[in-house]
Structure formats: structure tokens, C-alpha cells
Amino acid sequence: MRRKHALAGAATAALALVLSACGGGGGTSQQPAQTAAGGGAQPAFNAALTQVYNPSTKKGGTLKAAHSADWDSLDPGDTYYGYSFNFGRFYWRTLTMYKPGPGPEGNTVIPDLAEGLGTPSDDGKTWTYKLKSGLKYEDGTPITAKDVAYAVARSYDKETFPHGPSYLNELLDWPKDFKGVYKSADVDYKSAVEATDDSTVVFHLKKPFASMDYIVQMPMSAPVPKDKDTGAKYKEKVLSSGPYKFETNEIGKRFTLVRNDQWDPATDPNRPALPDRIEVQLNVNADDLDNQLISGDIDLDIPGTGLQPAALGKVLPDPALKARTDNPTIPRLWYVSVIPDNPPMDNVECRKAVMWAADRVANQTAYGGPLAGGDIATNVMPPPIVGQEKFDLYTTPENKGDVAKAKEALTACGQPNGFSTTMAFRSDRPREKALAEAMQQALAKVNIKVELKGFPGSSYFSDYAGNTDYVKKNGIGLAGHGWGSDWPDGYGFMQAIVDSRTIRKAGNYNLSVKNPEVDKLIDQASSELDETARAKLWVDVDKKVMEDASILPVVWAKSLLMRGTRVTNVAYNEGQSMYDYILLGVE
């Protein structure tokens, strides 16, 4: 249950290499100079990380954006990609939102449609939000609390809206026989969410939950008027509540946003709404997209996951191009699941042997090194997570593994001569393959023989590494994995990959953490309403997992983002873990 990052398909990598090899530096080196002349800002590496790069209040122009794949859905109730949450704020407004702009403040939540943050009841099971006045849709009709409640209720129907997150399905106290607003049109859902008057939305939870403000910044809380709702077809004509509305929308191809004259900036201090027009191309070849971004033909790479390997080869060696990039650490961990399902890995000492033997530097190199890959991770939670603490239970010399300690652990495990196991990885991800090879080499030094098995990424979790029967039958002991968070707190990052109660037969994301003590700590943490105490509890969860030695952290991922040549007001937002799209303008 977490926001997916649109990861680069590896299939294009081979072509990309050809292109970069042939096209190195083709007429691009003068571009940054133009930017400097036009925008008056000096491009510099990481210039948009802690401050706004090329700040501007100038309105007008067309922001040209492109996406290398299809949008999962433009419907606020049916979308789950980070870029969609980020970009969608052009045409929707939610109860709360991440504070726009750079720096650590970007992780904090502020009100958007709501007058203030949510008010929890004393038991933490009821959350109340009060709407601002003067809110309107693009057609001039007022936005009411009823529409917000309806939008939340309609997102419940996962048959119609299979893409969106299901936090609210699980958190709220839905009527037993409720199957969604279409199939159960006569069932009243007020036990879960209700509008007590035109401006008050009340959420009723099954159990106490502290992070509600993070949940309602997601687009399920974007209002949808019942009489305009067309179910799965609503994505073709979304009624805007934000500063822009759809002019055209060709699903799978392109769409255009223009100004929504019914949006009242007085109710919305957070969106500067600079461009007059926003054009989005879909399904653009990822390498073409990078080339167009480099040349300035487009302003924005929608997925926000960074440049492709081909473009990296071109950009990093060129100081002028590198000065247009930012290299933030994102709330994402690449790691190895150390799976206790098959002996001898059911013994914690044997898992610890893996921890000690792993060569962290080799693993980091496999993932692309410090710039393109990320910093060496020593524990589960990445640094951008609120309250994260960096600690290291398995310190080894120069991070290159400790054979002696590993052998000690093996002896304690009763396997002094080592053992054999199998490591699964996604064969369509070259970096994960490289990681598997690095692990194989490192573990061989302590006589742990690792057999490598590659699987297709699309069915990795459903049929292979995330399928408990398959793991047991095939003796899988290690598996390449990666995780990003939906929101930057412990619950948002950790719950899905360390809570053993989420494990089912197939489609698991928690492959290895099966520890009741961890589960107990998770329950304590998620019901703790005090923010500081809560963060501390999540660090405890992190420590417990590391003691359990069931996750071997590899890198805290970094992405390499590139600023378009014409864009103004660029800032990396930690909450979005991308550039803050709603701030952008064009020269």
C-alpha cells in the first residue's frame, strides 16, 4: 500500500546505450548558457534542493510536460503514483497537502480545502475537517463537504477503481454490506465518512490512527460531485477543483490543462498557478524524453524518477549539463530480503552471517554508485523519513564485510562450513542483477553458496519472490527488493514491508520480516498520537528489524532530476520526493 514509483523499463536500455554512444554532446552544451541569460539564475548542481531555483512570480506561457508511460488514471479516486499525486494538484484540491517548496518543511502537512489540520477525537478514532468557504468547481457550483464524503466513499469500489490506495478502505468503519456507491447505492456510508453540514467532513476509524492528515492529502479526499460522477469513465472528464481544468483529454495520448476561472486564489495561498496552459504528452519514449528535456523542447519529466542511464552518461560528464541537475535522497530503500522460510536461514544467526558477510560498497556500486544509486544504507528507514535515526548494528571495516564476524555467526548457527541458498532478483532490472552478483561474490567468501535466479518484474511478487509457496518450494533465501514511502513517516514507509500480518499466499511485499515483536511495536507506534513519541517508536521498529537480520539494507536511493531550460520557480519537495510541480512557471 504505497505509492508506486514509475521505474524505468530496462528494455530500452540497450537502445539507449547505442544512442548515447553515437550522440554524445550533440548540440547541447550551449543550452545552460541560454538559461542563465534568460532566467537570470545561475545553474548549479543541487540548486533546487534547499531553496527555490530561479524564483519567479511571472504568469503566462505554456508548461510542456511529458510522461514515458501511461497515467494509471487521472481520476483522483483511482490513482496511486507519486507523480500523479504531485501533478494532480493542478486540477484537484484535497483536505490537506504537503507544504510546497524546498527543504525539510516540504515533509509537513498543511490544510488545503480544509481550514486547518484534522481534529482527532480523544480516542484517535474520529477525525474532523472543516472546509473553507467560497470553494467552487470549474462549473461554478460550490464544493461541499458532501462531495468530499462522496469522493471518499466512491473510491471504496476497487472493482471500478483498482489503482488507488486502499488505506481508507481499511481504516474507516464501513457498513458491513457496503460494496461501493454504485453497487450499494442505497447503503448509507455515514458510519465511515459523513458530512455533518456543508463544510464539515467527519471520518470514523475502526481503530486509533495518528497519521490521518497524511492520508487525506491523498487525492481520495478530492471532491467529486455525485451528479457528475461517471464511474470508471470519470477520468475522461474530471471536474476541476484546482487552478486548472481540462481543455482536451485523450486517454493514453495527451491532455491539456487551461486556467480554471472559477478557482479563487484567495482560498488557496499555496498554488501560484504561473503557466496559462499545461500540455502533457503520454507514452513518450523514455530516452527521447530525456533528450527533449536536455535540449529544452520539454520543460518537465512527469515521472520524476530521474534520468535514464543513457542520459546519465551524457549529463554527468558535462559540467554545464550537470549544473542543471539535482541529486536528492528520496524516501526509498533498495535492499535484500533475508527470508527465514527455509532452513538454515530460519536461524537468526545464519541471517546475521549474511549481514556480516555482505560487501556494502560492492552493493552500492551495483546500484549505480553514490550519485545515480544512493548512499550506503545501514538501517531500514531512509533519511527523508520524519524522525529517522541512522544507526548501524553491523559495522564492518570500510563497509566491505567482516569475514571473521560472519564465520562466528555461522558457527553460532550450527553451519560452520557454510550452506547453500538461492537469491531471487528481477532480471529486467540490470542493477538488481548486478546486486545479486555482488552478493554471490561476497557470500562465497564465507562459504555461503548462492545460486541466482532471475524473474520477470511484472510477476515477481505475484508468482515468485512474493509467493510463499514458491519461496518454500524453491528454497529462496534472499531476494532483491526496493521500497518507497507514500508519506514520510514511519508508518508510511515501514508498515507494508515489516508487518507480518500483511503476509498472504501471493503478492506479498513483506518477504522476510516475520517477527511478533515487530508487529507489536507497529501497533504501538501507529496508535501513538504524540508525534515525537511516535517517531521514536518507529525507530524501535527499525532497530528490531535489523536485530532480526531479515532485511539487508543496500542504498538509500537518490535520484538525478533535471531542470528544464525554461522553467522557473523550481524546488525539490521532500513530501513529493520530486520537484514541486504546482510551483513551476515558464519564462
Partner 1 sequence: MLIVISMVTFGIFFVVPQWAGATPEALASRYVGRAATPETVHLVAERLGFNDPVVVQYGRFVKGLFTGAEYDYGAGVEQCPAPCFGYSFISGQPVWPDLVDRLPVTFSLAVGAAIIWVLAGVSVGVISALRRGSFFDRLSMGTALAGVSLPIFFTGMISLVVFSYGLGWTPPGGAWTDFTVNPAQWAFNLLLPWITLAFLFAAGYARLTRAGMLETMGEDYIRTARAKGLREGKVVVKHGLRAALTPILTLFGIDFGLLIGGAVLTETTYTLPGLGQFAILAIRNQDLPQVMGVVLVAAGFVVVASLIVDLLYAVVDPRVRLS
Residues that bind partner 1 (CB under 8 A): 1-4, 9, 11, 15, 18-19, 22-23, 26-27, 70, 72-73, 80, 157-166, 169-170, 180, 182, 229-234, 251-253, 281, 283-285, 288, 291-292, 295, 297, 458-459, 461-463, 504, 506-507, 509
Exposed / middle / buried, residue 184 (Cβ in 10 Å: 0-12, 13-18, 19+):
middle
Of the two residues 505 and 520, which places its CB atom closer to partner 1 in the complex? Answer: 505
CB of 230 vs partner 1, minimal distance in Å: 5
Cell numbers at 225, concatenated? 460531485
Of the two residues 161 and 203, which places its CB atom closer to partner 1 in the complex? Answer: 161
CB of 295 vs partner 1, minimal distance in Å: 8
Of the two residues 49 and 232, which places its CB atom closer to partner 1 in the complex? Answer: 232
**Integer CA distances (angstroms), 485 to 68, 130, 191, 434, 502, in order:** 22, 27, 29, 24, 16
**Helices 516-527 and 490-498, interaxial angle, to 10°?**
150
CB of 106 vs partner 1, minimal distance in Å: 23
Of the two residues 170 and 261, which places its CB atom closer to partner 1 in the complex? Answer: 170
Nearest of 298, 305, 302, 313 to residue 31 by alpha carbon: 298
CB of 192 vs partner 1, minimal distance in Å: 16
Of the two residues 14 and 44, which places its CB atom closer to partner 1 in the complex? Answer: 14
Give the H/E segment covering residue 204: strand 200-204
Tally of CB atoms within 10 A around 579: 27
CB of 485 vs partner 1, minimal distance in Å: 12
Q: How would you list the strands of the sheet with 277-281, edge to edge?
A: 244-250, 254-259, 277-281, 62-66, 300-301
Cell numbers at 324, concatenated? 542543471
CB of 365 vs partner 1, minimal distance in Å: 27
Of the two residues 113 and 168, which places its CB atom closer to partner 1 in the complex? Answer: 168
CB of 500 vs partner 1, minimal distance in Å: 16
Cβ pair 249, 147 in contact under 8 A: no
Contacts with 423 (C-beta within 8 Å, 6 or more apart), sequence order = 336, 436, 439, 440, 450, 451, 452, 453, 476, 477, 478, 479, 480
Cβ pair 510, 496 in contact under 8 A: yes
CB of 118 vs partner 1, minimal distance in Å: 23
Exposed / middle / buried, residue 315 (Cβ in 10 Å: 0-12, 13-18, 19+):
buried
Give the H/E segment covering residue 17: helix 13-23
Of the two residues 182 and 391, which places its CB atom closer to partner 1 in the complex? Answer: 182
Separation CA 261–CA 139 (nearest Å): 9
Of the two residues 165 and 373, which places its CB atom closer to partner 1 in the complex? Answer: 165
Cβ pair 2, 492 in contact under 8 A: yes
Torsion over CA: 339, 399, 403, 442 (sign): positive
CB of 303 vs partner 1, minimal distance in Å: 14
Of the two residues 375 and 463, which places its CB atom closer to partner 1 in the complex? Answer: 463
Of the two residues 11 and 533, which places its CB atom closer to partner 1 in the complex? Answer: 11
CB of 280 vs partner 1, minimal distance in Å: 14
